[in-house]
Every structure is written in C-alpha cells, then in structure tokens.
Amino acid sequence: MFGIDDWFKDDFYKQLPLGFHQHFCFGQIFKTHAYYPHENLQLWRPVHDAAEPTKTIATQFQITAAGQDAFKRPIPLASPKLETNEEFLVVRAKTRPVVLLMPETPSFGIDNRGYRGRVQRHLCLVGQVFGLVDVKTKTMEFNPSFVDRVRKMEFPELLFLPARPGFIEVDSILRLDEMQSVFTPNLDPSHLALGDEVAKVLRGQLQFLLTQTGPTTYTELREELLKS
C-alpha cells in the first residue's frame, strides 16, 4: 500500500552539516529521556524519621496513591526541597528518539531581575517516537492494517517514520499527542533530521491538528495518499 514513505523515499531524512550539535532545528532527531503520562496518579511521599522532630528532612520515601490530601502537605520539606502545594510524582521514563518541534525560544534580553518569575526556562518542545516493531524480537506490535492507515496519514496526531538504522532502528510513529517539554541540555543531538519537504508536511500537520484549518502541504498530501 502506497504511503508517505513511498512518496518521499530517500528524501525522507537529511544529514545536517557540521555544527548540528550547537544549532538545533525543527524536525531534527534527538534522543532523550521521555516520561510516560501517568493514568493513575501516585505520589512519592516522605517517611519521617522519629529522630528528626521538625519533619522537614526526609531520607526515605514510599509510593502512595493520590488521595484527598494530594498537593496539600501540612509542612514543607527543606531537604529535598518541597513546598506544601507540591508533590513528588511517581513516573516511568525511558530513553527514546524524539523529533524537535519547537527549539528553545531566545529571551531577547528580557530583564526580570527583582521579580520571582523565570522568563527564560531553556525548554524546547519535542514529539516522542514509538517503534512499531519490538527492537529485540522484531515482532510487530501493531496491526499491519493500522500501520498502513498511518502511512496514508489518516490520523492527524500520528506521522509514520521509516526505519533509519543508527537513529530510528525500526519503522516508527511520531506521536503528536505525546509532545513534551524538555530541558534543552538534556537533548542528545544527531545529525539526522526530517527532509525539507517532510518538515513542511509536519508543520502543516501540526497546524491542522491544533487548529483544524487548511489547506496545508499536509492536507494536500493526505488527500492524495488516501485516494491512492
């Protein structure tokens, strides 16, 4: 079945020039630790030592289900620092490929001295990449008919990414419904990025996903693929 990978073929990705590790760009592929959104909220609550009467220092913690007192702690922690309206959340994470969707925004010399708020947070926005095949066993993890529908761009929140050994080991999907903010220094850059035309499609796909407006390069290509 003809899909976006067939449309662009060898132009799906491009190699970035020297300096790629200093100048990040839309569509560039990185690796970083990405967290799984938690369906059931769990908290990492301190277990207070009876020998520490202030109850502001904790060295031991236990997992508890979030209850009515979540984010309503009676006493702040000094070490590790935790305010009364804050909690340590229990989340899982793993290192996976991601596609850069919004590079860090420069501050343009904004001066906020004397105020508490931080303007420049050194964050960027990425989309997580999930393999369609188990890397170790090479077993398909999704129905082939579903994969073909993704390749035809039927789902605005999903983009098919063909395997590129060394960067994306197996055929994968970029999930735009799992975008995350990442501290820029935590990105491990590669010299691989989406090809220029594929990047245009992704920009149009983001526009369509967020605003339901078009036409864009994405909607035009999607129409061609869906009728082929």
CA angle 95, 179, 15 (to 5 degrees): 65
CB atoms within 10 A of CB 40: 7
* Each residue's pLDDT tens digit, 70-90: 999 888 999 999 999 999 999
SS3 for the chain is CCCHHHHHHHHCEEECCCCCCCCCCCCEEEEEEEECCCCCCEEEEECCCCCCCCCCECCCEEEEECCCCCCCCCCCEEECEECCCCCCECCCEEEEEEEEEECCCCCCCCCCCCCCCCCCCCEEEEEEEEECECCCCCCECCCHHHHHHHHCCCCCCEEEECCECCCECCCEEEEEEEEEEEEHHHCEEEEEEECHHHHHHHHHHHHHHHHCCCCCHHHHHHHHHHHC
Least confident of 6-20, 36-50, 53-67, 98-112: 98-112
Per domain, the residue ranges of the chain are: 4-36+93-227, 38-91
For 31, the token pair is: 């690796």
Which among 106, 121, 98 is positioned nearest to 172, based on CA atoms? 98
Give the per-residue pLDDT at 169.
92
Q: What is the mean pLDDT of residues 30-36?
A: 94
Question: 4 or 108, which is more confident?
Answer: 4
Half-sphere exposure of 211 toward its Cβ, with a 13 Å CA cutoff? Answer: 10
For 151, the token pair is: 């390749």
* Each residue's pLDDT tens digit, 97-107: 999 999 988 76
CA distance 174 to 31: 13
Q: What percent of the chain has pLDDT over 70?
A: 95
- Grade residue 118 by pLDDT with cuts at 50, 70 and 90: low
Give the per-residue pLDDT at 121.
77
Question: 1 or 117, which is more confident?
Answer: 1
CA distance 20 to 192: 9
Say yes or no to pLDDT of 154 above 90: yes
Which among 169, 157, 126, 153 is positioned nearest to 221, based on CA atoms? 153
Say yes or no to pLDDT of 119 above 70: no
What is the fold, at CATH topology level, of the domain defined by 4-36+93-227?
SH3 type barrels. (2.30.30)
Say yes or no to pLDDT of 112 above 70: no
* Each residue's pLDDT tens digit, 163-200: 999 899 999 999 999 999 999 999 999 999 999 999 99
